[in-house]
Amino acid sequence: MKLLTGIGGWPDTAAEQALTAEAAGYDMVTCGELAHDSILTMTLALNATRKIEAMTTVTIAFPRSPMVLAMEAWDIQRLAKGRFSIGLGSQVKGHNERRFGGSWSAAAPRMKEYIQMMKAIWKSWQEGSAADFMGKQYRYTLMTPNFNPGPIEYAQPKIYLAVVGPAMARVAGEVADGVLPHGGIMTDKYMREVLLPNVKIGLERSGRTWDDIEIASSGYLALGENDEEIAKNLDQFRRPLSFYGSTRSYHHVLRLAGLEDLGMRLHKLSLDGRWKEMQDIITEDDLLKLSDTCRYDDYPEFVRTRREYASQMGFGMRTETAAQKRRAAELMGKLQQIKTPGVAAGLEF
């Protein structure tokens, strides 16, 4: 099991954060793309390190052309000697049009073409094949020597896809190398009943198997040494749930847990700008309907039996004291030794 930790903030801190993660024994660093550019952050992180892998989680795709991201990822992969993966996300219509000033069309078919074009570009650079991708949204039919960087000595970057809805899950199964379930609003029930079955449909469509794709662990999970710490960490889910739960695009996740009414109330409060009240209306019972809980002592067994589909997962513990550092290192070692089948029970081919 690969263990991941996030870095972020101003890019001038990326190198130090990545070096700290590498020294702590993590397998990969990740970064989101909120107030800072994910590509720049990962470039600085990888340039400073020598062993740890890095992945954007995620880079917003549609405001950039597939060629722009293909070129950046190609350069970073060579710089990093094969340690880079790029995670793509579509964002929602409002942000694409009103924040990025871009265009919007049906996200799933557009993302499928986006990934196909990136891979077609890399194939032409690596193998010298013709530029011949023709889609409805994207076309790649021109590559002259001046603009061709040529092959690299490493495997092409893996493309992970951020997924919430069934259609995007099928796209991930068809064309992506990995699946990043939306950690901001995801439950184990939704993973197993909606998301992963649709990934399987996509795999079947493209003649692939679970061996051809990697799945990141997801689902609200409150961890702790004892019940008191678990309760405290469970309470921290109010903030992401209030934010993502207010977006109607994510209400299908809440609906499966019987919480669609909560989503509608959160949406109404967000329209009125009543941000603090959004967290206050979420009850502990609501959180428990969406979340798993587990003590650290039981965590390795939980991962073996309840996250058997995953090959990578985020990990974080307090490391302020020497005892906490030893505890974290011990648990990290146990988790990294776990080898899962990489497929959810009942979804085998």
pLDDT at residue 168 in the model: 97
pLDDT, tens digit, for every residue of 197-242?
999 999 999 999 999 999 999 999 999 999 999 999 999 999 999 9
User: CA-to-CA distance for 205 and 220, rounded, in angstroms?
Assistant: 30
pLDDT, tens digit, for every residue of 179-190?
999 888 899 999
pLDDT at residue 10 in the model: 97
pLDDT at residue 185 in the model: 86
User: Angle at CA 241, nearest 5°, toward 161 and 21?
Assistant: 55
Longest distance between any two alpha carbons in the chain, whole Å: 63
pLDDT at residue 175 in the model: 98
User: CA-to-CA distance for 28 and 184, rounded, in angstroms?
Assistant: 20
Is beta strand 214-215 parallel, antiparallel or unpaired with respect to 178-181? parallel
User: CA-to-CA distance for 162 and 261, rounded, in angstroms?
Assistant: 25
Per-residue pLDDT of the chain (349 residues; tens, 9 = 90+): 999 999 999 999 999 999 999 999 999 999 999 999 999 999 999 999 999 999 999 999 999 999 999 999 999 999 999 999 999 999 989 999 999 999 999 999 999 999 999 999 999 999 999 999 999 999 999 999 999 999 999 999 999 999 999 999 999 999 999 999 988 889 999 999 999 999 999 999 999 999 999 999 999 999 999 999 999 999 999 999 999 999 888 899 999 999 999 999 999 999 999 988 999 999 999 999 999 999 999 999 999 999 999 999 999 998 999 999 999 999 999 999 999 999 999 999 9
User: CA-to-CA distance for 331 and 316, rounded, in angstroms?
Assistant: 10
Expressed in angstroms, the distance from the first to the final Cα of the chain is 22
Query: Tokens standing for 271?
Result: 């329209």
User: CA-to-CA distance for 163 and 182, rounded, in angstroms?
Assistant: 6
What's the whole-model pTM score? 0.94
User: CA-to-CA distance for 15 and 187, rounded, in angstroms?
Assistant: 33
Query: What residue ranges define each of the domains in the chain, with the CATH number in brackets?
Result: 2-225+294-336 (3.20.20.30), 238-290 (no CATH)
Query: Tokens standing for 31?
Result: 């970064």
Nearest alpha-carbon partner for 180 in 324, 189, 171: 171
Nearest alpha-carbon partner for 313 in 42, 101, 66, 28: 28
pLDDT at residue 184 in the model: 83
Backbone φ, ψ for residue 157 (5° rounding): -55, 140
pLDDT at residue 295 in the model: 97
pLDDT at residue 92 in the model: 87
The helix or strand, by DSSP H or E, that contains position 57, with its residue range, turns out to be strand 53-60
339 and 303 in contact (C-beta within 8 Å)?
no
Q: Let me know how long the chain is.
A: 349
